[in-house]
Structures are given as C-alpha cells and as structure tokens.
Amino acid sequence: MGDTAANTTSAGAYLQLFLPLILLFFCLWFFMIRPQKKRDNETRKMRSSIQEGDEIVTIGGIVGKVLSVKEDSLIIYCGADKTKMEFKKWAVSEVTKKVEKPVKEKEADLAETEDETPKKKNIKKLSRREDAEEDTAEDK
C-alpha cells in the first residue's frame, strides 16, 4: 500500500508541474492563435467574393476598379488614363466599395425592367397661383 500512495503523490507532482504549461498554452491559443485564424478566414472570404466593379486597394497601396476576375488573379484599371494592371488575389488588402449586384446581372435587370415599366401617370403640377386659388376656395 505504501507504493500506491507514493505513486499518487508523484502523479500529483507531475500534474502540478505541467498544469501551468497547459494553462499557458490555452491562453496563448485563446488570445493569439484563434483571433488570427478568424482574421485569415475573413480575409479569404473577402478576396474570394471580389467581383467586377468593386473598388479595391492592394497591399502596395494601388487603388483601382476591378475590370475582370480570374481564378487566382484579377485585372484592375486605375488612374486618369485607365491603366490596366493584373494582380494576384492575395495582393488585395481591402475592398473599399462593394458592388451590390454583379455587372452582368445589373444589365439583365435593366433589360427586364424596361419591358415591365408601368405607364407614367400624368401628374398635374400646380403653380403658386393655382395653389392660392385652391386655398381661398377651401376657406369659403
């Protein structure tokens, strides 16, 4: 029986020895590794959702508008003379203006709405003189 008591005390001593290391690793993971992984996932989603018409900023500070998107690269145009440049998607730092709908879908929506436009109603615009006449008529 003396051996089992010695074994439990040595197990407790090992636990006391490694418990601070386990807690340190948990704190390191919770405060450093986990937030970094969340940021990486958000950046990956942002880069994969880039579409034509978005305005972006590259990691080099170049600001431009997306002209076309390929699998792992994109072509932007920037400057007054609309210079075209090709960048890898990993070089995008942020999207400054996001297009609500892709350009192709917008063109299709415009074509549909032109066919379905309701007829305009004739709205009579009143001049100030007519407004004054109506007010005096209501007072009587």
pTM, two decimal places: 0.56
pLDDT confidence of residue 66: 95
pLDDT confidence of residue 110: 57
Specify the pairing of strand 73-78 against strand 83-88. Answer: antiparallel
pLDDT confidence of residue 55: 94
Those residues with Cβ within 8 angstroms of residue 66's Cβ, 6 or more apart along the chain or in another chain:
50, 51, 52, 53, 54, 55, 56, 74, 75, 76
Ranges of the chain with pLDDT below 50: none
Could you give the 3-state DSSP secondary structure of residue 77? strand
129, two tokens: 């003189």
Q: pLDDT digit string (tens) for 93-112?
A: 999 988 876 555 555 555 56
